[in-house]
Amino acid sequence: MKREKTILRTDLRSALIVVTVMGAVFLAILTILLGLNRLDVVENDLLLYFGLAIFALDVLVSGILLLAYLLRYGRVSRANEAADLMKTEIGDLFRYEVDLPYAIVAADGTVKIVSGFLQNILGFRSPVCNVPLSNFCTVPMEQIIGYAQNGAPVRDITYTEDGVPIDHTKPMIATVAGRQYELQCYVLRSRGIDYYFVVFRDVTDILALQKREYEDEPVVAYIVIDSLQELAQYVRVSYRTAVSEIETILKTWAAGFGAMLQEYDREKYLLVLDRKALDECIRKEFPILETVRSVQLGDSSFPVTISMGVGAVKGSFEEKEKAASDALDIALQKGGDQVAVNDGKSITPYGGRTNTMTSSTTITSRVNSQHLCYLIRKAGNVLIMGHRAPDYDSIGSCVGLARLAISARGGDASRIRIVIDRDHANFRTCYDTLAHLPEYRSMFISGDAALDSVRLDTLLIVSDVSNVYNMQEPQLTKCVKDIVIIDHHRRPDQMYEFRPLMTYIRPGVAAASELVSEMLELSPYRDQLLKEEATLMLAGLMLDTKNFTAGAEMQTFSAVHYLYERGAHAQMAKPLFNESLTNLFTAVDIDSRTRTYRDKIALTWHSVDHDITEQDRINIAKAADKLMTVSGIEASFVLLHSNNIVTISARSSNKINVEIIMKRLGGGGHFNSASAQLEHASLESASQQLKAVLDDYLDHEYGK
């Protein structure tokens, strides 16, 4: 709001009113006397005397008023002169004496006047100058104008996918002559033109203190050695010798930046460091991962790796420890060989370049099965949910969990429901297998119906997905307090907006149906799985292992053996995989366009004239899988183009990490399988971007 300019004035209105009123009164008296004179009531001599007296009185009063005005005018004039002199002296004082650097800047960014202090800082010869503000100030003129007009820095606000505002507004800081200044800006209007009064407040020492406080902030981290026990089974090397060598590497690394490293359990370590050391590690992307990976145990081709969870949050040591523990869980659930940094807002992974050997024990499955059955029995009702566009693994694992829940509740299926898209083709195919079973006639419900059934004691079990945004009904995670996650995919980087009661994520497992099969087999209800349910779970395993040719391990076939015992058979599941003639022609068309790139990469593409459907995504995923069967191909990429959007499906063997490649294109996934989506892109531009990322990866990271 603009301020009115105030000056001292001499007010003549009162004097003019008095003189006017007196003149009117005297004129009225003379008029009356003239009338009386004509009637011979008043003599001429008397009229003359009265007239002279009235005139004299008018002159006297006017003179007195004039004298009073002149005296007041003199006082006001002297006060105005004193004020003008004072303003000039104050201006000179602020310009030359007071320790306040400021500049008066025109709207086009031209500096008109600088204070004496700022003049000395900049080395200008005169306070009056016409130089661009950008010569010594890095803050854009647009920000200065916005600050001056709003009375504060222009707010920088972004919104999360849920519409939650995040304020990134920061003070305007400029570096002038080696020191840092915070800018405060005001509008200054002169002769109808707006100028901007910019004050430079020296905050160098304050920022240095804040930086020191930030760098000295303690950070807590947990470190574990990945799969060393499993690896030691395959090589002739002393297990304790290997642990000792890795521990020596970790202690040397920690001592390099003054951190404390303490073993608190077998192959588990607590690390306390400061934020400055952490930032240096982040800048170098944690070279300790590569150092540990270089340790060779015998002639094994599996590297020794570590996983680390870092709690870089403000607060008490209890809060830091909790954040570090959550970060370590994510690092392990995403496959290990990486560092996960939890800053309280998100969890950022570093590393993860090795397809690590993962531990798989029946003890883990048995413990999780027992705990899940306890949660199911305690719940008022149970909702089971997979991912959007459900595939056979999602449907099969949900059906297996439903059987576990029915059994744990004594055969009562009335309060158990599976949340699914009932219009999806995969579900309709699977439902034909279950339709004759009475417990499944009302088992499957929509997301809206699930939201209506939520109670205070509802238990939500999420299977085959851990990314909230890919769940069938993400809103359920905001409505249900007790949530269980069971998945075989690497956990996403973002933090959950909820805290699960139980999280069972094993990235090394081939399918979610395999996890659920193990849990059922090791539960007291192993004999209650029906052959129809076992068949769908077997179909899920066949889908995710590509008929047991990819990712299938010993425990996978153990799960298949259990499912066969319960009546499943590949011949029963095979009809679920029958292809339509249209999809067969599409596959042939994609195959015909395949090209090799740099001898080891297979590239192909497909273009459609409609919005991308789930079947289109399935087609390119199958094409990418098929290309991995070609001899000499270590990674395959299939591009799908539709309406100026290009979707990329990527697959690889154990030599190329397609997760890293897809992340650089804005996507993600895991070591052997990943995807990305490029908007406002043509096939040609998307292909060029992909090849550029491939070149960078193959030239600098391949084989390391």
Q: Express each pLDDT in 174-187 by its tens digit.
A: 888 888 898 888 88
pLDDT in the model for residue 4: 43
How far is residue 616's CA from residue 226's CA, in Å, rounded to a whole number?
38
| HEC profile of 197-210 | EEEEEECHHHHHHH
523 pLDDT above the threshold of 70: yes
How far is residue 318's CA from residue 88's CA, in Å, rounded to a whole number?
60
Least confident of 37-41, 93-97, 407-411: 93-97
Show me where the domains of the chain are located: 13-96, 102-209, 218-351, 362-577, 581-700
pTM equals: 0.57
- Higher-pLDDT residue of 107 and 580 is 107
pLDDT in the model for residue 273: 94
pLDDT in the model for residue 262: 92
- Higher-pLDDT residue of 344 and 217 is 217
448 — pLDDT class (breaks 50, 70, 90) = very high
How far is residue 66's CA from residue 246's CA, in Å, rounded to a whole number?
103
Q: In what order do the strands lie in the sheet with 128-132?
A: 128-132, 110-114, 102-106, 193-202, 179-190, 173-176
pLDDT in the model for residue 249: 92
109 pLDDT above the threshold of 60: yes
How far is residue 539's CA from residue 374's CA, in Å, rounded to a whole number?
28
pLDDT in the model for residue 360: 47
Q: Which residues of 371-387 are buried (b: 16+ CB within 10 A; e: fewer)?
A: ebbebbeebebbbbbbb
Query: What is the average per-residue pLDDT within 443-458?
Result: 94
Query: What is the average per-residue pLDDT within 558-562?
Result: 91
Residue 219, amino acid: V
163 pLDDT above the threshold of 60: no
449 pLDDT above the threshold of 50: yes
Query: What is the average per-residue pLDDT within 70-88?
Result: 67
pLDDT in the model for residue 47: 64
Q: What is the share, in percent, of the chain residues with pLDDT greater than 70?
A: 83
Domain 362-577 -> CATH class: alpha beta
Tokens linked to 388: 């959007």
pLDDT in the model for residue 694: 94
Neighbour tally for 423: CB within 10 Å: 8
How far is residue 343's CA from residue 324's CA, in Å, rounded to a whole number?
9
The contacts of residue 371 (CB under 8 Å, 6+ apart) are 502
Q: Directed axis angle between helix 44-92 and helix 13-38, to 10°?
A: 170
Domain 218-351 -> CATH class: alpha beta
Query: What is the average per-residue pLDDT within 38-49?
Result: 64
- Higher-pLDDT residue of 284 and 13 is 284
305 pLDDT above the threshold of 90: no
- Higher-pLDDT residue of 533 and 666 is 533
Block residue for tokens 């259990």: 562
- Higher-pLDDT residue of 564 and 101 is 564
- Higher-pLDDT residue of 218 and 119 is 218
Instruction: Looking at mean pLDDT, say which of 91-100, 155-164, 270-279, 489-498 comes out highest.
Output: 270-279
CA distances from 64 to 11, 73, 526, 552, 680 (A): 16, 14, 118, 115, 86
- Higher-pLDDT residue of 629 and 2 is 629
Query: What is the average per-residue pLDDT within 334-359?
Result: 74
- Higher-pLDDT residue of 181 and 159 is 181
160 pLDDT above the threshold of 70: no
566 — pLDDT class (breaks 50, 70, 90) = very high
The contacts of residue 672 (CB under 8 Å, 6+ apart) are 355, 550, 551, 651, 652, 653, 654, 658
648 — pLDDT class (breaks 50, 70, 90) = very high
Instruction: Looking at mean pLDDT, say which of 357-361, 488-492, 664-668 comes out highest.
Output: 664-668
Domain 581-700 -> CATH class: alpha beta
Q: Are 91 and 104 in contact (CB under 8 A)?
A: no
- CATH number assigned to the domain covering 102-209: 3.30.450.20
pLDDT in the model for residue 536: 94
Tens of pLDDT, residues 267-292: 899 999 999 999 999 998 899 988 88
Tokens linked to 153: 């820095």
- Higher-pLDDT residue of 226 and 146 is 146
Query: What is the average per-residue pLDDT within 88-114?
Result: 72
Beta bridge partners of 309: 222, 340
704 pLDDT above the threshold of 70: no
CA distances from 137 to 125, 153, 176 (A): 18, 16, 6
pLDDT in the model for residue 321: 92
Query: What is the average per-residue pLDDT within 456-474?
Result: 91
Query: What is the average per-residue pLDDT within 451-467?
Result: 93
- Higher-pLDDT residue of 321 and 75 is 321
HSE-up of residue 529 (Cα within 13 Å, Cβ side): 33
Q: What value does the mean pLDDT of the chain take? A: 83
Q: Which residues of 640-670 are buried (b: 16+ CB within 10 A; e: fewer)?
A: bbbeeebbbbbbbbeebbbbbbbbebebbbb
What three-state secondary structure class fits 316? Answer: coil
CA-CA-CA-CA dihedral for 576, 581, 583, 586, to nearest 10:
160
Q: What is the share, in percent, of the chain residues with pLDDT greater than 90?
A: 35
Least confident of 65-79, 303-317, 518-532: 65-79
Tokens linked to 447: 């997301």
Least confident of 87-101, 461-475, 563-577, 664-678: 87-101
pLDDT in the model for residue 301: 52
Neighbour tally for 618: CB within 10 Å: 16
Least confident of 1-10, 29-38, 83-92, 223-232: 1-10
pLDDT in the model for residue 1: 38
437 pLDDT above the threshold of 70: yes
Q: Directed axis angle between helix 392-408 and helix 531-544, to 10°?
A: 140
